[in-house]
Structure 1
Amino acid sequence: MGERPESAAADADGPAFRTVFENRVRFAETDQQGVVFYGEYFTFQDEAVSAFLRAIDYDYDRMVENGWQIHVVNSELNYRAGAEFGDVIDNELRVAEIGTSSLAFEYRARRRADDAVLADGTVTHVAVDRETEAPTRIPDAFRQAVAAFQGSLESSE
């Protein structure tokens, strides 16, 4: 992907962001003003989470096989600049923190042409047991996969 060279090292404020999903803005994703409709960034953020999970080889299917899954409990986005039809967006993600049963991702969308940050924000999930839907501890294997992929892991356990 369009990973920037500095993304291999940790950022000053935590693990490095990694480009996990890229997309070219489709005409259908723009509004009457010709820029990406703000709600589309939530879809981009969600796609980035799915891509991150695939990149660490711990996707939703593996979670289900292991008896747990994650549910979104909060999502926030800040809009910094507008993207237009045809722009290529690098969607970056990192796990900012893993608690006992919660998982907080930080997200950033950058326009590849000029590296401008288009949007940034967070999405928090809670791990739940597949049978009971009750909060459950995030497995060590998942924690290890995240740490191996991004080089470190903030834990509030």
Structure 2
Amino acid sequence: MAARWSSPVRYVECDQQGVVFNAHYLTWADEASNAWWAAHGLPWDELVARGVDPVVKASSLEWSSSARFGDTVTVDAETGKVGRTSVTVRFTVRVGERLCCVVSTTYVCLTEAGKAPWPDDVRARITGG
């Protein structure tokens, strides 16, 4: 199941040449992750209230072109690999049809006891099963 998040590029996100500073692509992926979890029927606040805390283990970014001040970015979030205790989500950042960046983020399930397998109902939702 995919999710989408979109936003105009703000002046504060750009350098003096009007090009988006690289760290903001991670911020946009983080924004889109909320939509991704919610699209699976797992709003972030409900997960945390249950004691399930998906934390970022790793993120990688691959740039193709720059977003600039005045653009509107759209981030599509899609489920990648689902492991016993982790899930990788692919965030594709575009301006119109132009690909800007792909962010791949792996989340690990943490509980009060530490790293743990996804609860059965959470796993079923993120795998579409």
TM-score, length of structure 1 as denominator length: 0.76
RMSD, matched Cα: 1.6
Q: Distance in 1 between matches of 2:3 and 2:51?
A: 29
Choose from 103, 109, 112 the match for 1:121: 103
Tell me the alpha carbon deviations over residues 46-65 of structure 1, each in whole angstroms, 9 at most, x when there is no partner. Answer: 11111111222202222123
The equivalent residue for 1:22 is 6
The equivalent residue for 2:89 is 105
Q: Distance in 2 between matches of 1:70 and 1:19?
A: 17
How far 1:73 moved relative to its partner?
0.8
List 4+ stretches of structure 1 deviating above 6 A: none
Task: Give the structure with the higher percent strand.
Answer: 2
Asked if structure 2 preserves the Cα contact closer than 8 Å seen for 1:19 and 1:90, the reply is: no
Report whether the alignment pairs 1:64 with 2:48. Answer: yes
Q: Distance in 1 between matches of 2:117 and 2:77?
A: 22
The equivalent residue for 1:83 is 67
Paired residue secondary structure (2:42): coil
Asked if structure 1 preserves the Cα contact closer than 8 Å seen for 2:87 and 2:108, the reply is: yes
Asked if structure 2 preserves the Cα contact closer than 8 Å seen for 1:75 and 1:123, the reply is: yes
Choose from 55, 64, 73 the match for 2:57: 73
Please give the residue correspondences for 1:47-62 in structure 2 after superposition, counting only pairs within 5 Å.
47-62=31-46
Which amino acid in 1 is paired with 2:16? Q
Asked if structure 1 preserves the Cα contact closer than 8 Å seen for 2:3 and 2:78, the reply is: no
The equivalent residue for 2:123 is 143
How far 1:145 moved relative to its partner?
2.2
- What are structure 1's unaligned runs of at least 5 residues? 1-15
Which amino acid in 1 is paired with 2:63? Y
Which amino acid in 2 is paired with 1:71? V
Which amino acid in 2 is paired with 1:146? I
Q: Distance in 2 between matches of 1:119 and 1:78?
A: 5
Choose from 14, 21, 24 the match for 1:40: 24
Tell me the alpha carbon deviations over residues 6-56 of structure 1, each in whole angstroms, 9 at most, x when there is no partner. Answer: xxxxxxxxxx7x342001101111111211111110100111111111222
Q: Distance in 1 between matches of 2:3 and 2:79?
A: 13
Q: Distance in 2 between matches of 1:117 and 1:40?
A: 15
